[in-house]
Structure formats: structure tokens, C-alpha cells
Structure 1
Amino acid sequence: MHDIPQPGTLPPLHPPDSITPTEDTVTGQHEQAWPSCDQLTTEKITTVRHACYTAAAKAIFALQNGQRLTGEQLFVTVHAQAARAWWDLVEEEITSKQLASDHALRRVRSWARHYLTAEPPAARPGTLFDHALAHAARMAARDFLSDSGHLLTQHLIHQAAHPAATSATPAEHDHPRPVSPTPPVPTVVAP
């Protein structure tokens, strides 16, 4: 095996050393400045995109140099592309519908759960290649659920620790947005 990164969850976004203490202007006490859910989501989207670009570049480099594309390289590339598709849906919800990042994460998480549990069986048996691509896509959806769940947990912990700083204004909830009846399913294209 060459030094190809395996798909799966990414390391935590911020090591504890990167959290800088800030001074509370009311009490004068120092407290840790935790990144917001928006910042963490943006960083995660950037990280996943970088992983997708890197995996695709490695596969293209191997093909352009006449090397044999291994199953591992293909799996890593397809997994990275499927993971990016889920995180791109989050970004689309944030930018096009102007949702808060935690709301967008919850919405796309429901689509990912639906994708994993309500996918109809194939009408005909697939090849081993088809099964490998489907497995990579399902694994990416599970990793998305894990990573986004971690972000939402951090967001809830921060909200519980600082309820005044994270309370929503009433105007944000005056006009709820309609929920789309069918979730979009990210497409995975082999390199």
C-alpha cells in the first residue's frame, strides 16, 4: 500500500491550543473564545473540498503517468467526491436560502439519513464496481452524519454555556421556510 489517506472522519477542526482566551467586558474574567458554528462549518467545507481536490489530483497524476489506478485510489477519490457533495449541499442551503449553518446542517443531515435508510433496492444486480461505488457513497454519507453531528454538538454546548450570546432574534423565526418534499441526492461520478 502506498501512502494513500483512507476515507473516514477528519481530525478535529481546532486543537485545544488554538483557542485563544478573551476577556469578558462585563465581569473582566478570561474565558475561551470558541469558534462559531458558522466558522466551523466553513472550515469543514473547505477541508472537505481540499480533500476532494487532493484525491482527484492523485488519481489524475497516476493516470497521466501511465500508472495503474488502484482500487484504493478510486475508492478514496469517490468517497471524497461524495463527501464533498454532502457538504456542498450544506453550503447551498446556507447561501441560497440564507439559513443559519446549524439549520442547514440539520436539514442536510435529514437528507443523508433518508439516503441511507430509504434508498430503494436496485432493479437489477450490479457489478462489483457498482457495489464499490455505492459503498463509498454510503460511507461518505455516514461520515457526513458523524462530522456534522460533532459540529452540532459543539454548537449546542456553546449555546448552553453562553445562552445570552447565542439567542436568536424573533425576526429570524417569523417566516419559516418550507421544507422541500424530496431531498436531493448527491451524485457521484467516477474519475
Structure 2
Amino acid sequence: MNRKAIKAILTAKFNDWVKSIDDENVQSLVRKNTIITGGSIASLLLKEKVKDYDIYFRNKETTLAVAHYYVKKFNELNGKKVNRLGHTNEAFVLDGEKVGMFKDGLLRLNDIAPGYENQGNAVSHMITNTPPDRVKIIVRSDGVAAEDDSILADNFEDVYDVISDADQIDEEKLEQADGEKGKYRPIFLSSNAITLSGKI
């Protein structure tokens, strides 16, 4: 496939995705500060089926805005589900700059990590080791270890290995299972990536 055709396909996919963003500020930032890269370009060059389109942003402002936008969407769709220990699995966005302010005593834990429960008076390394230029997505996880063993009396046959890489997700199966929930909705969150339906 030639460069002109590849550019047309990437532009069409990008524009279709951007139109789905219902926040004008986020939409504007995305239009100005996005880079499409990854295997989609190689697949198009080789006339192969595109697995997904990798999207990156030129600055932290856009990354933060997009993360907040899709984490909010994810929580609206999934965040009120309750796990076996009775906690919701809401996600939140962590801004490394605010972590520094927390370490300096200028912000409280709940200011940077809403809903995060400080257990044993120790703040997670996932939070405290976030450099100022980073944006992380934190998804609450209760695991299966507890100080009170009676909490673990239930059988945990529904606990699965954690998927740490979005590339491990079979998006086609997810899309078939999800049916008509909408194009470009967040279907997977990790600390450094958001996977949307529609191969983004």
C-alpha cells in the first residue's frame, strides 16, 4: 500500500475516534497533540489486517486530559461493580506532579488518590514512586491476602492472573462479548495504557 493510501486510512480512523470524544477541550487537545504509530503502519504497508492503532500524545497536558476522560468513562461503565471483598473497582488518574506535592505535605492522599485506602499507614510504591512528568492509571485491587484470615474463607476460584500488558487482550473476542456497548469505549486500563474498543 502506498503512503497516500496509508495516510488516508490513518486520518479516517483518527477522525472517527476524535468525533466520539464528547468533551470539546479533550477533543481539541487530541487533535493538536496526537501521534499514531506502531504496528498499524507496518500492517498497512504489508497489506495485512490491522490489529490496533497505537496512539501517543506529545505532551503531559493531553495525556492527563485523555486519561481523566477515559477513566471517568470506564468508571461510569464499570466502576461500581463490587468485588468479593465488597469494594468497588473504580480507577483514578495519578499525576506525578501532585505526588511530589503530597510528599512535600502540600496535598493530602485523598487529593491525589481519591478513594485510595491507606492500609497499615503505608502508601503504595505505585503511588509514591511516580515521577513528576508521569501520568499513571491506578485500578483498585484487593488481591487475596489479608491480615484477618477469616476474610479469605471464601473460595477464590474466580480470581485470575493479572493481565499487565494490553497486547494480551483479544479485542475481537471482547467486542463480540460486549455487543452494542458503543465504539471507542474504554475496555482495558493498565498503569500506562488505555485500550478502547474499535482497535484504539
- The structure richer in strand per residue is 2
Q: Fold match, TM over 0.5?
A: no
What TM-score comes out, normalization by structure 1 length?
0.28
The answer to which structure, 1 or 2, has the higher relative contact order (CA under 8 A, 6+ apart) is 1
